[in-house]
Copies of this chain bind each other. A is one copy, B any other.
Amino acid sequence: MRVTIKDIANMSGVSVATASMALNDRPGINKDTKKKVLEVANKLHYRPNHSARSLITKKSGCIGLIVTSIRNPFFSKLVDVFNKEVEAMGYSLLLGITNDKIKLEKKYIDLFIERNVEGLIIVPTIEKSPDLTQLYMLKSMHIPFVFCTTAYYGLKADVVMTDLMEGEYQMVKYLIEKGKRNIYFVTCDQSLMLSSLRLDGFKKAHADAGLSFSNDQIIETVPDYDHGYKTGIELSKLKPDAVVAINDFLAWGITKAFKDCEISIPQDVSVAGYDDLLYSSLFEPALTTVKQPITQICKKTLEVLVKNIEDDTQEAKTYYISPKMMVRDST
């Protein structure tokens, strides 16, 4: 049914081997022969069968990307950038969306192994005590992978992320300098790297300023818009002078709750986020936040991944990208 290299070979009167070499632009074949073969291939709209090729070359030309969400603008940009970069490198992107379910993460890793990905980029889920067997398997199979934006504690692997501690440190320091003394920190499960590092920044900023804070000022919740709103309603009773949320979604929800409680921002309370989502600058008031330079993160991640593909004996390392504070109207 479909035209194969055999058809091309027959029609151009050469052997399959010659046709293959001609099509792949290999040296040592006659100019005219090559021209002939390419003409025929073109006329018949020949497309090489990827499965057959990949079976023998053992290269799938695929890189897997496992991401927790795609509707979160932060990650949709991340996926977009990865897609472009990966294509530019001549690979294809295989996408897995976990919605923060470790079970799905495992499923995708299995799937991607079956599809012979040459490397894997993983944005870890926020599940409490993740089961990492699949990741150990990747290691034992020598399939390179790199964590992106955050990582799992307890697994030695390369990580590319913004310096979360530093970002949150700067934000809290800035608020303290603005005279805030009752800053609430809205975060998620503290055993996760992405929250514990940020919390460290919060703590360090207080320590450096010689200030103390109570544990009540640290509020744990699910880091999305709806929980942000709920938390905002509760916070409204506590009269904070500033609220720092672990991401912009939370900050939006909190903002909305404050508005609904007729608490005005930034007059009554400052609100800050983290991520700098595309829409955060359009919101009212425009959100003060910490920008994660996505393009830079993606490029670095791929660079590290490629290095691992070429040589998987390197020591695992964490690469920090500097975040950038975006001061806007909400503080």
Residues of A within 8 A of B (CB): 2, 45, 47-52, 54-55, 60, 70-71, 73, 76-77, 79-80, 83-84, 92-95, 97, 110-111, 113-116, 137, 141, 252, 256, 278-279, 282-284
Could you list 10 further interchain pairs (A-B, Cβ under 8 angstroms) beyond the known A51-B60, A71-B77?
Answer: A2-B141, A48-B114, A51-B52, A55-B55, A70-B83, A71-B80, A73-B76, A84-B97, A93-B95, A252-B282
CB distance from A99 to the nearest CB of B (A): 9
Complex Cα spacing A73 to B76, Å: 9
In the bound complex, do residue B83 and residue A111 qualify as a contact, i.e. CB atoms below 8 Å apart? no
C-alpha gap A284/B259 in the complex (Å): 12
Number of copies: 2
Residues of chain B with a CB closer than 8 A to A97's CB: 80, 83-84
Known A-B contacts A73-B71, A282-B256, A284-B284; the reply to A51 vs B116 at CB < 8 A is yes
Given contacts A50-B114, A54-B51, A111-B92, contact A71 B137 (CB under 8 A): no
Question: Which residues of B sit under 8 angstroms from A252, Cβ to Cβ?
Answer: 282
Question: CA separation between A71 and B295, bound complex, in Å?
Answer: 14
